[in-house]
Amino acid sequence: MLLTTLLLSAIFSSLIDYNKCAVLSSTSIHGNNEVLPEFTSNNINEPNRVEDKIDYSRNVEDIKVTTSAILTKPASRAYNCFLKNNFNCNIFKSKNSTGAIIGSADFKEKEPKDGQIASTGNPFYRVLDEHRAGRWNSTHLQIKKYNSTHFVTEVTWMFNKKTLTVKNVKVFLSNSNYTDDQPIQRSLLNLVCSYSNNHMSVENYVLRLNCYIRNKFIKDLFYGARASGILLSTVKIAKTDYAFYQVADISLLGSIKQIVTYHGYVFYPLSRAKLCQLRVNKNCGLIIYEPQSVEGFKGFPYSKFSPPDGKIASGNKAEFMELDEYGVDRWTRVKFPEVNCHNRTHLSFNLTWYLTATHRTDNIEVFINNQNYSPAEPLSRHHLDLNPICTIKFHGEFPRSQQTMSCPISLEKYRQLGKLKYLLMLSVWNIYDTSNAFYQVIDLQGLSAEQTYENMLRKCL
Ligand SMILES: *[C@@H]1O[C@H](CO)[C@@H](O)[C@H](O)[C@H]1NC(C)=O
Ligand SMILES: *[C@@H]1O[C@H](CO)[C@@H](O)[C@H](O)[C@H]1NC(C)=O
Ligand SMILES: *[C@@H]1O[C@H](CO)[C@@H](O)[C@H](O)[C@H]1NC(C)=O
Ligand SMILES: *[C@@H]1O[C@H](CO)[C@@H](O)[C@H](O)[C@H]1NC(C)=O
Ligand SMILES: *[C@@H]1O[C@H](CO)[C@@H](O)[C@H](O)[C@H]1NC(C)=O
Ligand SMILES: *[C@@H]1O[C@H](CO)[C@@H](O)[C@H](O)[C@H]1NC(C)=O
């Protein structure tokens, strides 16, 4: 027994780093608008009152329960079948009730099997285990930053009984390996919060919980996932030996906007990554969801940890490797920023970072290409002047959320740039209290007719 426990905890060690949920309320509902009419009425499958014990050696079709429970927030797959947001899954007809999807009270045990987690292996609900891209309507996961270590999301269960006592609630989220075309498996799920109490009473059908989720689980949910994920919640009612299972298909597109991270991107002139998010650059991969996250090691260009040649634009981050692609027509080129007179020897231009949240900062640097630059080659150090054209130092202070820097450029350098058809800048935001930096590449056209060296000389001298 002990050995089994040890084995299980080894296998599921990734599952035990969770946080407790807090019970928000078990509010009353007035009117039936929020309560499924059929769900609370006698239509619910309430057959032979075989009380509250599952014998897995028996045919699961024989399992009868008197209580039913569904997850309404985020709307579960089964609930969406009921609402007809999901098609060809009319599990409400006849004796197939939506709310009686039950499995072992401890998800670590063998039931339900991998691939049958949505149905808990019950043939009535087997349709819920289908998995192909786009099969299930998804619900936005509403998620907010709670404090520096946690996010929070609200989870709502509804029951067909007005009052009952819940023993525990658990919430699992898929990790970055989940895609909606594969069966749901334990190895794709992290336990992110859990609430346990012997006397947690539900009043008026509803149980709402705040689930506090560690940042790393949110990262795991978002990074790599193709903007879709799974939330699994289980509820164990007191004095029963099984739990209700509900799987919700969640879309992460809207959620990413709600996630505030210590990240940023260059929006003047528009960076490669930002143009991906704006869908001006195509076939960009995951960066479209988070142009602010091109995070790599700091110390460019000399530190051996900083992004190597060919991987500078992605910050050497595998998720964003598309950014490292090259070719004369690969990236949309924006105009060289507006140029002003600075003094007798220099002109200047502005560059602006947008920081989705500020962070203690070393400095922000801007590098500009040299005459070796060719868009047909992987971006390398030999394409760039390795002395930044400008640097703004913060000494650990916080930049503004829109941080503009004025970059002086010598007339001589400007004259050289004027001869080139393609230009490129790299800006690096070096963080003060971590070993990381954010990398942004800006693909530029050659100087415009008004911006020629001769014109600027006339204007400024
Ligand atoms: C989900 O269902 C709603 C309501 O039927 C519909 O408006 C929406 O387009 C569907 N979304 C997807 C992704 O199928
Ligand atoms: C109810 O479940 C049975 C499996 O026992 C299945 O054959 C039937 O199609 C289901 N009914 C509906 C309407 O989904
Ligand atoms: C953030 O909130 C969670 C949930 O209440 C708590 O466990 C954690 O300790 C908090 N973190 C900090 C840094 O306060
Ligand atoms: C994803 O799958 C790969 C290969 O099986 C594995 O190495 C990696 O640890 C998995 N990632 C997560 C977050 O589980
Ligand atoms: C012009 O400005 C640049 C950058 O601020 C500075 O390095 C240079 O010495 C200035 N030149 C003159 C002539 O003042
Ligand atoms: C740079 O920004 C400053 C302050 O926002 C502005 O006054 C200045 O005109 C800008 N310079 C250029 C070249 O656009």
- The predicted-structure confidence for 395-449, as pLDDT tens digits, reads as follows 989 888 889 999 999 999 999 999 999 999 999 999 887 788 999 999 999 999 9
3-state secondary structure of 384: strand
- Which range is least confidently modeled, 5-19, 109-123, 296-310? 5-19
Output the CA 97–ligand 1 centroid distance in Å. 23
Output the CA 409–ligand 5 centroid distance in Å. 9
One-character DSSP codes across 126-191 = GGGG---TT-S--EEPP-EE-SSSEEEEEEEEEESSSSEEEEEEEEEEE-TT--TTS---GGGEEE
- Which range is least confidently modeled, 222-226, 360-364, 421-425? 222-226
Q: Which tokens in the block code for residue 143?
A: 């998620």
- Closest atom of ligand 1 relative to the 84 alpha carbon: 5
Q: Which residue has the tokens 């029951």?
A: 159
Span 302-326, average pLDDT: 94
Q: Report the C-alpha gap between 72 and 206 in whole angstroms.
A: 10
Mean pLDDT: which of 16-25, 170-179, 376-385 is highest?
A: 376-385
More confident residue, 365 or 227: 365
How many whole angstroms from its chain centre is CA 253?
8
Q: What pLDDT was estimated at residue 261?
A: 56
Q: How many residues does the chain have?
A: 461
Q: Report the C-alpha gap between 327 and 341 in whole angstroms.
A: 33
Q: What pLDDT was estimated at residue 454?
A: 95
The answer, yes or no, to whether residue 323 has pLDDT greater than 70, is yes
The answer, yes or no, to whether residue 285 has pLDDT greater than 50, is yes
More confident residue, 414 or 285: 414
Q: Are 146 and 217 in contact (CB under 8 A)?
A: no
Query: Which helix (H) or strand (E) covers residue 10, if one does?
Result: helix 2-11
CA angle 381, 304, 377 (to 5 degrees): 25
Best mutation site among 406, 447, 448, 456 for ligand 6 pocket (most ligand atoms within 8 Å of CB):
406
Q: What pLDDT was estimated at residue 357?
A: 67
Q: Report the C-alpha gap between 350 and 370 in whole angstroms.
A: 19
Q: What pLDDT was estimated at residue 1?
A: 31
- Which range is least confidently modeled, 183-197, 258-272, 326-340? 258-272
Output the CA 144–ligand 3 centroid distance in Å. 14
Residue 340: pLDDT band by 50, 70, 90 thresholds? very high
Q: Which residue, judged by its Cα, is nearest atom 6 of ligand 5?
A: 346
Tell me how far apart the terminal alpha carbons of the chain are, to the nearest angstrom. 86
Q: What pLDDT was estimated at residue 246?
A: 95
Q: Are 221 and 248 in contact (CB under 8 A)?
A: no
Q: Report the C-alpha gap between 360 and 343 in whole angstroms.
A: 32
Q: Which of 95, 86, 141, 378 is nearest to 257 (CA)?
A: 141
- The predicted-structure confidence for 24-57, as pLDDT tens digits, reads as follows 333 222 222 333 323 332 223 333 223 333 443 3
Q: Which residue, judged by its Cα, is nearest atom 6 of ligand 3?
A: 150
Q: What pLDDT was estimated at residue 98?
A: 63
More confident residue, 179 or 41: 179
Identify whether 378 is preceded by a cis peptide bond (ω within 30 of 0).
Answer: no
Q: Is ligand 4 within 6 A of the CB of residue 220?
A: yes
In DSSP terms, which residues pair with 408 in a beta bridge?
348
Q: Are 81 and 90 in contact (CB under 8 A)?
A: yes
Q: Report the C-alpha gap between 394 and 432 in whole angstroms.
A: 9
3-state secondary structure of 289: helix
- The predicted-structure confidence for 72-95, as pLDDT tens digits, reads as follows 999 999 999 988 899 999 876 545
Q: What pLDDT was estimated at residue 457?
A: 93
Residue environment code for 189-223, b if the CB has 16+ CB neighbours within 10 A, otherwise e: bbbbbbbeeeebebebbbbbbbbbbbbebbbbbbb
Residue 66 has φ and ψ, to the nearest 5°, of -95, -20
Q: Is ligand 4 within 6 A of the CB of residue 189?
A: no
CA angle 410, 411, 417 (to 5 degrees): 95
Best mutation site among 14, 174, 177 for ligand 4 pocket (most ligand atoms within 8 Å of CB):
177
Output the CA 278–ligand 6 centroid distance in Å. 24
- Closest atom of ligand 5 relative to the 343 alpha carbon: 1
Q: Which of 171, 237, 196, 201 is nearest to 27 (CA)?
A: 201
Q: Are 203 and 23 in contact (CB under 8 A)?
A: no
Output the CA 360–ligand 3 centroid distance in Å. 21
Mean pLDDT of the chain: 81
Residue 256: pLDDT band by 50, 70, 90 thresholds? low
Residue 105: pLDDT band by 50, 70, 90 thresholds? confident
Q: Is ligand 6 within 6 A of the CB of residue 445?
A: no
Q: Which residue has the tokens 């309320």?
A: 25
Q: Report the C-alpha gap between 107 and 210 in whole angstroms.
A: 21
Q: Which residue, judged by its Cα, is nearest atom 11 of ligand 1?
A: 137
Output the CA 175–ligand 4 centroid distance in Å. 9
Quick one: DSSP state of residue 50?
Answer: -
Q: What whole-number percentage of the chain has pLDDT above 70?
A: 80
